[in-house]
Amino acid sequence: MTVQHLPKCLLLPIDGSREALRPIEFVSRLYPGLRDVNLILGYLVSPLPPAYSGMYADSADIMKRRREYLENREKETRRIFADAKEVLLKAGFAEELLHEHMEQREMSVAKHACLLADMKKVDAVLVQQTVSSALEGFLKGSSPSGLLQHCLASPIWFTDGSVDPTNAAICIFNEEASLRIADHAAFMLSETNTSITLLHASKSCDYAIVSGLEPPSAELSAWASSPEGKTAMPYLAKSSELIRDQGIDESRLRIAIIPNRGDTVGEILSWCGKSGVGIVGLGHSQPEGTWSFLKTSVTKKILSSFKNMSVWVMQ
């Protein structure tokens, strides 16, 4: 089956810092040559101070100062876009594939970014982790919880450190959200050389089982016939079907069943670290609402612990 590969479109919110541009290093590794990768730079300018829009705003002095303020804000905005474009062009992006979007900040950075992502119908929002404290230090004025609260349609790529995109692990749980992240990863990785592991943490597994698809290993077949295996295998099978539908060869795809001894996040991150995984895909479901989910979710715990990885979250 011949698959028609479609251009990718990514949104990178910027704030004038070089830190916000760091996901570009990962993107350029994932897509060497950066062919057909469109990038939208999203920048929020400070709102007009109340003194320039109040009851005395029509006075000659206030109007003069407001004009100077707007001119300086425009110059600063142009400088920030120019600096960002310089970095992107050096990374290999084609100038015609770079797009600018500027608007005045009226709400949280997270909500602005997610509304823009929905409006532009981007394939993913790029966010750089800047410090290691839990749920803090992502894009200024934002956080994973805020992004997950508002980005209900657009996948988010949280990135930390130096990421090797050679291997990806898509976490498969017994829920529809896992199928959505598998479908997203398949589309975004279809034109790369990244190997993909469908990863499931099982309480009925005493040791890691790693197997190709056809034929499955004897260990995987035995686990698949267990009660837990019978529940999980339909999601693993459907995920593998979605990935192969994107033209990804079976030689790039495998299944790994790892023990779940109570610390699901620890087991996942430990296995990924030992296996050279640089991309982790998570389906994020919210049966009781985002805020309730974040308190105990695997997503929240992984986002507070991951290092030198890109964690892709799809709701």
Number of domains in the chain: 2
Angle (CA) 191-196-197 rounded to 5° is 170
pLDDT < 70 stretches in the chain: 1-5, 54-57, 130-153, 286-296
290 with 154, same domain: the answer is no
Contacts of 161-164 with C-beta under 8 Å, sequence gap 24+, read 161/307, 161/308, 161/309, 162/25, 162/308, 163/25, 163/26, 163/29, 163/278, 163/279, 163/308, 163/309, 163/310, 164/29, 164/276, 164/278, 164/308
Q: Which domain holds residue 287?
A: 167-314
Residue where a domain terminates, one of 159, 182, 199: 159
20 with 146, same domain: the answer is yes
- Partners of 283 in the β-ladder: 314
User: 217: buried, middle or exposed (CB in 10 Å: 19+, 13-18, 0-12)?
Assistant: middle
CATH code for the domain of 141: 3.40.50.620
The model scores a pTM over 0.85: yes
Residue where a domain terminates, one of 119, 142, 159: 159
Q: How far is CA 59 from CA 47, 54, 66, 67, 314, in A?
A: 20, 10, 10, 12, 51
**Helix (H) / strand (E) containing 191:** none
* 197 belongs to a structural domain: yes
pLDDT in tens, 178-236: 999 999 999 999 999 999 999 999 999 989 999 998 899 999 999 999 999 999 999 99
